[in-house]
Amino acid sequence: MPSEKVLEGKKAVVAAITERLKNAQAGVIADYRGLTVAQDTELRKKLREAGVEYSIVKNTLTRFAANEVGLGELDSVLHGPTALATSDSDVVAPAKVLVEFAKDNEQLEIKAGFIDGKVIDANEVKVYASIPSKEVLISKMLGSLQAPIGNLVRTLDAVAKKDAE
């Protein structure tokens, strides 16, 4: 039986992971086994730049936290070395960065993920990674909204020029 001090420390870690999972819009669980220190440092830098929180987690403690927030389906992937990447602001950021990094570094294996409380498998994580960023989607939408207005202006301008002749 662990000492009271150790038990309290583990309870604090579970509470922190639980809070992180509750606040996250999306997250990805990966196996980082085989990455060199340089590769891991590069990955952490890219995740930090994207606003993604990344850390190595203990499977048992993560299992307790996941069950507490309704992500019990993650149990099946919580074995071996486990890294957790979460974002509380961008749904696609964790998936996008990890999938892109895994393309160049085959040692990184995407295990599963979750979005808005729903567990998704590794293939679905890759699908989310292919979604353009929020800024790109907004600019495409604005471009789509401006196109009809621009066409109308050009048409009216052509009519006005024809009448002027």
Q: Is 73 exposed, middle or buried (CB count within 10 Å of its CB: 0-12, 13-18, 19+)?
A: middle
pLDDT at 114: 92
Confidence label for 116 from pLDDT (cuts 50, 70 and 90): confident
Indicate the pLDDT class of residue 1, thresholds 50, 70 and 90. Answer: low
Q: Judge contact between 110 and 126, C-beta under 8 A.
A: yes
pLDDT of residue 4: 86
Q: Indicate if the pLDDT at residue 135 is higher than 90.
A: no
Place of tokens 């066409």: 151
What pLDDT, in 10s, does the model give residues 21-72? 998 889 999 999 999 999 999 999 999 998 999 999 999 999 999 999 888 8
Report the percentage of the chain scoring pLDDT > 70.
98
In percent, how much of the chain has pLDDT > 90?
Answer: 37
Sign of CA dihedral 33, 39, 42, 46: negative
Q: What is the mean pLDDT of residues 125-154?
A: 80
How many C-beta atoms surround the C-beta of residue 102 within 10 A?
A: 19
> In which residue are the tokens 């919580």 written?
78
Beta carbons of 156 and 119 less than 8 angstroms apart:
no
Q: What is the mean pLDDT of the chain?
A: 87
